[in-house]
Amino acid sequence: MKVMVVVTHLLGTGHLSRALTLGRAFLRAGHETFVVTGGMPAPQLDSTGMTLLGLPPLRSDGTDFTRLLTQKGDVADATYLAVRETALVEAVQSFEPDVLITELFPFGRRSLASEFIAALEAVHALPRRPIVLGSIRDILAPPSKPAKAERAEEIVCDFYDGILVHSNPTVVPLDVSWPVTDRLRERIFYTGFVAPEAPAPHPDALGKDEILVSAGGGSVGQPIFRAAIEAAQKMPNRRWRLLVGGQDAHARIEQLQNLVGYAPVTLEPVRPDFRQMLPLAAASVSMCGYNTALDVLQSGTPAVFVPFDDGKEVEQSLRGESLSELLAIEVLPTKKLDGAALAQAISTVMSEGPRPVSTDGFDGAVKSVEIACSLRGQA
């Protein structure tokens, strides 16, 4: 079976990371997998074995997802967007997938609706129409207007055979963040959480007994890193490792290095072995994105979550709220974030941890493959 996944990450790399996890599951099941990515390059993520096509890349202007920028920082004009759309349609027509999966759309990426709709129309025009599936995380950004939810539902009903919701409905049902009508509910397939296999401890023991601070693969998290440096100065008996993401990681590291002084802090760009470092860490400090939250649960590492809440973002705050009752997890809102508060939160979770490792419900990628194959068999 030929599987095509279309994803554009605009701020961090979480959407691409989850799409690649799905891709690896299809590969392991023996299916040819083609991933079309429209965000900034993220070489730290593993795409081994998959065919990868990069469209002319885009990123959002911070949390303004309606203002799209090129890799050089220019506003993407109509010509730039048309080139992307043409390349995506040609990829669909050339590959002729048996299964097409769109990450987030139509529940998000409305600013890229034109290219997604063009790809969906191209799919429906193929000699044998593929199974078309949406792929969404546990918690979405709630629609700001009823019309947005209505439009997303129209697109689902017009083009999609199902929506893969990567959650457990008894833990986080989609209704928490999105209005689910009866018409939409009949197309929903809950897969469980999509995560790679639980990380094995780093073979070189990197991260052992350190406080590991991360903020994903995008150019965000600078307030977390600054607070971590302040906290490290208050906790000099602990080694701290700050992993900085984004295309401008080296410039941001240089800025942060000026604040370190004599604090026991190592600053470096994000690294592909982060998950292997996590089980050995004394504690984790991070935002509360889907992938990072699952990494923390799978590792059992005591954790402080600082949910990303710039602009109108509420997804991570909702997720943090759902995790805050677990042992050795503290949620620190950005409005309360400073060195003293972070040091106190870290001390609290380390005194409570380590936490029992979560093992059930993380096979959402495998379940997604099973659902796609079942639907394809019925087509």
pLDDT of residue 123: 96
E strand or H helix that includes residue 64: strand 64-69
pLDDT of residue 379: 54
Return the bridge partners of 165, or none. 136, 190
3-class DSSP state of 247: coil
**CATH hierarchy code of domain 2-197+361-378:** 3.40.50.2000
Give the residue extent of every domain in the chain: 2-197+361-378, 211-352
- Rounded to a whole number of angstroms, the distance between the first and last alpha carbons of the chain is 13
CB-CB contact of 71 with 40 (8 Å): yes
3-class DSSP state of 235: coil
Architecture of domain 211-352 in this structure: 3-Layer(aba) Sandwich (3.40)
Residue 33: exposure state from Cβ atoms within 10 A (0-12, 13-18, ≥19): buried
pLDDT of residue 65: 86
Q: What is the pLDDT along the chain (379 residues), one digit of tens a residue?
A: 999 999 999 988 899 999 999 999 999 999 999 999 999 999 888 899 999 999 999 999 888 888 999 999 999 999 999 999 999 999 999 999 999 999 999 999 999 999 999 999 999 999 999 999 999 999 998 998 999 999 999 999 999 999 999 999 988 899 999 999 999 999 999 999 999 888 889 999 999 999 999 998 777 889 999 999 999 999 999 999 999 988 888 999 999 999 999 999 999 999 999 999 999 999 999 999 999 999 999 999 999 999 998 877 888 999 999 898 899 999 999 999 999 999 999 999 999 988 888 777 899 999 999 999 999 986 5
Instruction: Please tell me whether the overall predicted TM-score, pTM, comes out greater than 0.85 for this model.
Output: yes
pLDDT of residue 220: 80
Task: Assign residue 114 a region (left: φ > 0; alpha: ψ between -120 and 50; beta: otherwise).
Answer: alpha
Q: Sort strands 131-136 and 99-103 into parallel, antiparallel or unpaired.
A: parallel
What is the C-alpha separation between 352 and 367, in angstroms, rounded? 34
Model pLDDT for residues 55-86, shown as the tens digit of each residue: 999 999 888 888 999 999 999 999 999 999 99
What does the block give as tokens for 106?
């139509």
CA atoms within 13 A on the CB side of 110: 15
Q: Give the contacts of 107 (CB within 8 A, at least 6 positions apart).
A: 134, 136, 140, 152, 178
What is the C-alpha separation between 149 and 138, in angstroms, rounded? 16
Nearest to 137, CA basis, from 368, 325, 323: 368
